[in-house]
Amino acid sequence: MVRSGIRMDVSHLTSLASFSDTTPKGIAGDLARLVTSGELEAGERLPTVRELASELGVSPATVSQAWQALARAGLIESRGRAGSFVREASAGRLALRMRGMAAPDDPVRLDLSRGTPDPLLLPALAPALSRVSARAETGSYQSVPVIPALAAVLADSWPSQAERIMVVDGALDALSRTLEQVVRFGDRVVVEHPGFPPFLDLLDVLGAVAVPVALDEQGMIPEALATALRSRPVAALVQPRAQNPTGASMTPDRAEALARVIRDSPDGDALIVIEDDHSGMISTEGDVTLGTWVPAQVVHVRSFSKSHGPDLRIAALGGPRELIDRITARRMLGPGWTSRMLQTILLDLLTDGSSLDAVAEARRQYFSRQRALGDALRARGVTVAPADGVNLWMPVLSERSALVQLAAAGIRVAAGSPFLAAANGSDASGAARSRRPGEFVRVTVGMVRDDVDEVADALATAAQHVVAGGY
């Protein structure tokens, strides 16, 4: 391994990599493997473009294209005259797996890595802001935490009868506060595999142990959940619709089957199920919750970030009165409540006809984009499962190679490894990767507005003709 901060001699670099393929793609692929294996450390200064070009007998433009692809993939960075360096880890403000998800700030032609909604499909905020300016409350410490009119709208749209509903600052705020009330150091928590990386980071912070459960196209597999429950977990984290990263959505039959597994488990009545319905209003599948069958054990979270705007930072959670009241009381010792001005804006967006129409159009657009890209990929031999919401889980022969190849094409996707709850590819039953051949990347399909065939061509090439999919 080379010492960080010292420029690597070009002959040493060529001794580490064969560079048998001296196209930009081949050079970038060899360098990517050295970074992945750790033979090139973070902070290592690379030879200049001209030095490597001379050593390999290619033009400087060829090496420059390879360097650009590696930079777009987030593996190296240019520091001007100081040279090019293996990229350092992302900023310490992010937890481990969130660092793995973080996209570089380098410009890219098409960024499909972020899992965020298309800003062009969000309802306009300006009309809502003008309407609520005269009636939004800003000066009271004593008012109820949730404005009554919003509470009524939420209750009417809730997928099951909730004893209590509160408003918080986004879905992760809801999950974090619920986990803090339920989980103690060393407790086990059921998670989806693959699942959302911040969930795993939260469990690490709490000192909890993740128990991975495999998925299929309808979410958690009941038999795998039954196996996981033998370890006596205290909670389960579930995404009922548009699961991130796979896009899987539960059917009512699947939700009932999972609830039956919980009821039949010897310690199932002690399990708290925390549902993150992060894409509810843009999902094409109907409302579904295990709370229909085990209401006393389910906390359901509904976020409005993907439907109405991430920067609103607002979500609702509902569930058993005693648990929600504990979360509310603890929150009063911190932020207290979610701004009633923001709540009034959300109420307006949830009741105004033009805003409702905008969200309905977004839902149609995301459905159309998912179907178009999914069909195009399957036509090119890449077996991707039908997906809901804004993301698609694509099998690739090599995650790192796919990232570099796509970067060379000006496209950025998210690496799949941060989403894996089990490092060795096994779920709670110990079953290996029979359902997950190869590796994966997450593609934010919701940002593919046009040029579907061009994007599908690039993705299929990067997948290197993997013909077996699944979760």
Mean pLDDT of 157-185: 95
So where are the chain's domains? Answer: 10-86, 96-120+355-463, 124-352
pLDDT score for 465:
43
Q: Does domain 10-86 have CATH number 1.10.10.10?
A: yes
Put the strands of the sheet holding 209-216 in their side by side order. Answer: 164-168, 315-319, 298-303, 272-277, 235-238, 188-193, 209-216, 219-220
The topology under which CATH files domain 124-352 is: Aspartate Aminotransferase; domain 2 (3.40.640)
Higher pLDDT, 150 or 9: 150
Instruction: State the sign of the Cα–Cα–Cα–Cα dihedral 156, 346, 274, 430.
Output: positive
Percentage of the chain lying above the pLDDT 70 cut: 88
- Domain 96-120+355-463 class in CATH: alpha beta
On average, the pLDDT of the chain sits at 88
Find, among 201, 194, 280, 283, the residue nearest to 244 by Cα. Answer: 194
Tell me, yes or no, if the two domains 96-120+355-463 and 124-352 fold the same way. no
The answer to whether the beta carbons of residues 171 and 301 sit under 8 Å apart is yes
Interhelix angle 399-408/24-37, nearest 10 degrees: 140
Write out pLDDT tens, residues 387-407.
999 999 999 999 989 999 999
Prediction pTM value: 0.80
* Local confidence band at 438 (pLDDT 50, 70, 90 cut-offs): low
